[in-house]
Structure 1
Amino acid sequence: MIVGRILWFIIVALIVFWLLGLIFKIGGGLIHIILVVAGIIFILQLITGRRSV
């Protein structure tokens, strides 16, 4: 349960930082790579349907 909340927090924070990076041209490509990794993890969690204990 807490892992799911942490994952959601990370995803939201990355999207906010990604948008700030696009607007102000900061952060380089690193935030894009991290955002893609977070998206892949999120999609895998949805597909597998695993629930945290």
Structure 2
Amino acid sequence: MDHEIMRHLADTWGLVLLVLMFVGAVGFLFRPGARKYYRDCSRIPLADDRRPKQ
């Protein structure tokens, strides 16, 4: 394979691969049931660590 063929493959299929990865990541973040997990994660910095655990 010469440089031009590799560049053509990277330009076309590389773009397709990156778009599919982006769509997959967005789909993973907005999947049903993820809201509670991310809401809990967003509250971690606000948790009071000085309280004794019961």
Please tell me whether Structure 1 or Structure 2 has the larger radius of gyration of its CA atoms.
Answer: 2
TM-score (norm 1): 0.41
Structure with greater contact order relative to length (CA < 8 Å, sep ≥ 6): 1
Larger proportion of helix: 1
TM-score (norm 2): 0.41
